[in-house]
A = this chain, B = another copy of it.
Amino acid sequence: MKKILIIDDDADLIENIAEILTLSEYQVIKAGNGKEGIEKSLKEKPDLIMCDVSMPGLDGFGVLHVLSRHPETFSTPFVFLTGRQGLTDLRRGMAMGADDYLTKPVNEDELLSVIDVRLRKNESLKRQASPAHLGFNELLQQVKDYDLINLTHISRDIHSYKKKHLLYSVGEKPVYVYFVVSGKLKEFLVNDEGKEFIIDMYSNGDFFGYTAILEDKPYKASIQILEDAELMIIPRTDFMQLVNQDRHISMKFINLLSNNIREKEEKLLNLAYNSLRKKVAAGIINVIDKFKDEKQGRPVIQISREDLANVVGAAQESMIRTLKEFKGEKLIEIVDGSIYILNENKLRHLVY
């Protein structure tokens, strides 16, 4: 049951709204002034906050201001209650990050619809994304939510691509953002001597191609299909609009990118000083984490030796020799070319 906090100095109005909400199966918390409202927000962590703009003492802006400075509450949907005449206040409210508003006297339909929309929207954003990428459901949910505010243009084209197909390569102008419905892909760079290094891998549920679009520059890396794939194609304009339009989504993206940076930084450290053994171990773990394949309860990776070497950043032969070592140490097992991980933990924390 969702918790809703109502902050207003008008006790009658609170009762009125509380009644409607209770009937609609929401749990209602009440606060008679701004200070109390903040205390209850932090303590009860409601799913949504409704707050009157004009109150004696700390007013609605003050409450929003304080709450937007607390990590626990800054992303809680915040709805202003305002009188008809309060049009100028509204600008301040929206600019400060309120999500929506309601005018007094409160219309029952509007009340419920606003609450429903805001809760659903926040719900879809709260679901934890996979470490480095947004999930399919989330994206669709967001798209759906946006329909509610009159955005029906996200296309849902799904295209199929064959193994080895080069989706795009360095220097091309980005036109789409891609979402992986099924299949596997690699993203790689090539150096002057033609050596390839795999900087990222994608499988179902992943989302890629956005950095070039966000920067508005040609692709700096190439994408190739590793296993037959179905990709959902999102035009750049739709994507820009999506990211641009909602602070929650922008924040989600910022989060995503920060994560990505950390991931790359770790790889840098790994490449800089680690022994081949450690690099190979890190490479295997990397593939496992990205593709998440399992067989008979054990993590498995199916990847060409060449590609694995390019993930590791080493010569194929050297990498293979290390695999052999790992096999001898019972860390992995190789059957028909597939690499089964026997001791994931030890592999993650190699001592030398």
Chain A residues within 8 Å of B, Cβ to Cβ: 61, 65, 68-71, 74, 84, 87, 90-92, 94-97, 100-101, 103, 149-151, 153, 189, 191, 193, 195, 197, 199, 210-211, 214-216, 220-221, 236-238, 240-241, 243-247, 250-251, 253-255, 257-262, 264-274, 313
Contacts and interface: CB of A to CB of B under 8 A. Distances in A.
Across chains A and B, which 8 residue pairs bring their CB atoms closest together, nearest first? A272-B313, A69-B237, A250-B250, A257-B257, A264-B264, A271-B271, A189-B269, A214-B258
Given A61-B150, A269-B191, A68 B261 contact: no
Nearest to A103: B87
A313 B271 CA distance: 9
Contact of A95 (B195, B245, B266): B245
A245 B266 CA distance: 31
Contacts of A221: 265
Binding site of A, secondary structure by majority: helix, strand, loop or mixed? helix
Contacts of A261: 211, 257, 260-261, 264
Nearest to A262: B220
A90 B92 contact: no
A267 B264 CA distance: 9
A267 B269 contact: no
Contacts of A216: 71
B220 A265 contact: yes
A348 to B, nearest CB: 12
A120 to B, nearest CB: 14
Nearest to A210: B258
Q: Which of A101, A244, A266, A267 has the most CB of B within 10 A?
A: A244
A229 to B, nearest CB: 22
A155 to B, nearest CB: 12
Contact of A272 (B70, B220, B238, B271): B271
Contacts of A265: 189, 199, 220-221, 264
B244 A251 contact: yes
A304 B236 CA distance: 45
A101 B97 contact: no
Given A87-B103, A91-B100, A95-B149, A274 B191 contact: yes
B245 A215 contact: no
Contacts of A191: 269-270, 272-274
A200 B318 CA distance: 30
A199 B259 CA distance: 15
6 contacts: A69-B153, A70-B237, A191-B272, A199-B268, A268-B271, A273-B313
A312 to B, nearest CB: 9
Given A69-B241, A90-B90, A214 B97 contact: no
Contact of A150 (B65, B149, B151): B65
